[in-house]
Amino acid sequence: MCFVAVEFPDDPNVKGREYWYLLGKCRDAEVGDGVIAPLGTHNREQTGVIRKVVFSDEQSAPYPVKYIKNIRTLIKKKTL
């Protein structure tokens, strides 16, 4: 499984915090790439930046898998 820590620097309510997400196409993900991901209880899609990429199984996940949401879109650095 591929986990990415995402920061949402344009949202003053959560700026500086990292949130863990699952990413299906992890081979392409790099620190600094952009993402579109659901945030908060209303799952409003926001643009964020990948700060960490971790390959792990469910037992060693950086955050409980049952609470992790999925990245909707990966935006490579070169297209930002």
* Chain segment 35-80, per-residue pLDDT in tens: 999 999 999 999 999 999 999 999 999 999 999 999 999 998 865 4
Q: What is the CATH number of the domain that holds 29?
A: 3.40.1440
Q: Which domain holds residue 68?
A: 2-79
Beta strands in 1-80 (DSSP E): 2-7, 18-22, 34-39, 44-55, 69-70, 73-75
- How many domains does the chain contain in total? 1
Q: What predicted TM-score, i.e. pTM, was given to this entire model?
A: 0.90
| Confidence at residue 27, expressed as pLDDT on a 0 to 100 scale | 76
Mean pLDDT value across residues 29-40: 95
| Confidence at residue 28, expressed as pLDDT on a 0 to 100 scale | 81
| Confidence at residue 77, expressed as pLDDT on a 0 to 100 scale | 81
Q: How far is CA 21 from CA 33, 71, in A?
A: 14, 6
